[in-house]
Amino acid sequence: MSTREILTLQFGHYSNYVGAHFWNIQELSFDYTGTVKAECNHDILYREGQTSTGEVTYTPRLLLADLKGSLNTLPSSGGLEESQVEEDLPWNTVEKIEEPAASKNEFLKDINDDISSNIKEKQYNLEQDVKTWTDYLYPRFHSRTVNVIKEYQHGDENESFDYSCSGRSLWKSDFGETFSDKIRKYVEECDSIQGFHINFDCTDGFSGLALGCIEYLTDEYTKSILAYPIVASHFADNNMSTEDEREKSTLRDSIRLVNMALSIEELSQHATMFVPLCTGEKGWRKPGNPRVFDYINYKPEQYYHSSSILASAIDTLSQKYRHKSNFHTMSDVCADMTGYGRKMAAASLGMPFAINESEYLIDHLNTTTKPLYTSITPSCKIATDKIFQLITVRGIPESYLKAPLKEAKEQMNLAAYRCSNVKEMFELYFQANNFLSATNVTVCEKPLELKTPFPNIFSDNLNEYGFVKTENQPQKVESCPVIAGYHNGNFMADMIEKLHRDVSRIKFAKLHKFKEQGLEEADYKESLDKLAEFKDNYEDDFEL
């Protein structure tokens, strides 16, 4: 069977925070003993290579972009030692960008010294130590992975990379040409590539850069493009104390809002499917109140925290087409979710899936009055009726399904007692709770593993496996059951309507920088009109 490879692209600082957690989750789940049965086909996201000295490497099939000064201790060569860097074609001899020397935190020093046993047992102070996404990055990358934008300095207020037009211009420069060459090289290495994962910050210049790339991929390759436009959980200008700061924050909010609206409109033209993500309830103007997850305590102002939640969702959602026992492809998922031109879907996450350690799944589903998941799509309340959804559940053992026959008692009166596995029971649950809806459920045996450096954001009320404890004895949470879903239906029209309404209130005359960088008023208005037209795809098609 072919590998059905995926190439992952990451654009932007917060998206790289999410990506660092995502690749940590992958790499820390590898089994080098050969004794653990793997559920995922890691070759879908990883590629095998060889160094100039003949050493075999296994690195993410990944290209990422970030600004100068954002890498801290990670060299632009990807982090492998110079003697280990893979040999490549001549295009790899482009100018090297040397990052200023930075001191490594204790976690990175232990990785560097290959003290893997220490990492498992040690307590690190990453909440204070993490200043950028490379400060908790476990894997090392291929030499072509890291792409530094040297025209802009990370954290520079005077020359900030805030406008989608800036990103568009950058894509049309040598940077875009070099980046597309690297894409071509990765694709040529694949036996049967199934498509592209694209995570990008949709509120700043990285939106334009990513959209330029997506348009290129659409023209050049006939493969699926699954995009996650991501909104950060917090912005530095959210905390205002003076009138001047308030005015600056309002202007930046407007810029972010325009970038996001332009992103959604262009994705509706070029992506196969796209799913906006944010741990804030609102997502624009201000990210808003943090989404609430039972038994998780996280700080939205710490990207290290909030990005781990989104990474966990992406990892869980992608299990459907990375699972060894599943024959679905990314193309199948996109086709299932995007009927009637509804290319934008919502995502949800229930982490942990909060079942009591002494409770059976049948009783939990029968008695719970809370939703099983929380929306992680901004300004989006997921409907319960007239929807199509792909649900992935992981980490609930079959032993938790129902009581044995001799102990079943009242359980035997429930229709769900006839279910013989976790998949059937969830299918019955959604069939009973979602009117005029279609649900496809994927079940993975293994839970989400929460190994260091995953942040310690879980409640003391959980046991080491992420189930709610019956005894008050402190335990470190090592893994947890998770439920996540893609959802689509006419309810998505509300989000588009809110976005269109809010961005339409901004007068183009106030968008000086957009105009200076090439955005014409006629083109801007046309984009807003297309956004309104895209909403029409979500009109109710059901007849009762």
pLDDT in tens, 224-255: 999 999 999 999 888 888 888 898 899 999 99
Long-range contacts (CB closer than 8 Å, 24 or more residues apart) made by 149-152 = 149/65, 149/66, 149/67, 149/68, 149/175, 150/68, 150/97, 152/67, 152/68, 152/205
More confident residue, 95 or 465: 465
Per-residue pLDDT, 92: 44
3-state SS assignment for residue 221? coil
The string of pLDDT tens digits covering residues 257-284 is 999 999 999 999 999 999 999 999 999 9
* Mean pLDDT computed over 332-361: 97
pLDDT value for 423: 98
Of all residues in the chain, the percent with pLDDT exceeding 70 is 94
Whether 349 and 312 have beta carbons less than 8 Å apart is answered as yes
SS (H, E, C) 488-535: EECCHHHHHHHHHHHHHCCCHHHCHHHHHCCCCHHHHHHHHHHHHHHH
Banded pLDDT at 145 (limits 50, 70, 90): very high
Instruction: Indicate the fold that domain 6-337 takes in CATH.
Output: Rossmann fold (3.40.50)
Calculate mean pLDDT across residues 322-343.
92
User: Three-class SS of residue 485?
Assistant: strand
Within 10 angstroms of residue 400's Cβ, the number of other Cβ atoms is: 19
- With a CB cutoff of 8 Å and minimum separation 6, the contacts of 245 are 237
User: Average of pLDDT values for 320-339?
Assistant: 92
Q: Per mean pLDDT, which range of 35-44, 392-401, 446-455 is the poorest?
A: 35-44
Average pLDDT along the chain: 92
* Residue 61 reports pLDDT greater than 70: yes
> What confidence tier does 86 reach under pLDDT thresholds 50, 70, 90?
low
pLDDT confidence of 160, banded at 50, 70, 90? confident
The whole-number pLDDT of residue 164 equals 96
Q: Which amino acid is at 528?
A: L
Indicate whether 53 pLDDT > 90: no
pLDDT at 94: 42
Average pLDDT over residues 389-398: 98
Q: Domain extents for the chain? A: 6-337, 341-492, 493-538
pLDDT at 115: 63
Choice between 93 and 153, residue whose per-residue pLDDT is larger: 153
Predicted TM-score (pTM) of this structure: 0.95
Q: Give ∠ CA 393-475-123 in degrees, rounded to 5.
A: 105
Provide the pairing of β-strand 195-201 with 224-230.
Answer: parallel
pLDDT for 84 equals 56
Query: What is the pairing mode between strands 374-375 and 346-350?
Result: antiparallel
Contact 482, 448 (CB under 8 A): yes
pLDDT at 85: 56
Give pLDDT, residue 402.
Answer: 98
The span from the CA of 62 to the CA of 436, in Å, is: 40
Instruction: Note whether 51 and 82 are within 8 A (CB).
Output: no
**How far is residue 208 CA from its own chain's centroid?**
19
Number of H-type helices and E-type strands within the chain: 15, 15
Kindly indicate the confidence band of residue 93, based on its pLDDT and cuts at 50, 70 and 90: very low
Q: What is the mean pLDDT of residues 109-131?
A: 83
DSSP string across 50-81:
EBTTS-EEEEE-EEEEEEET--TTS-TT-BS-
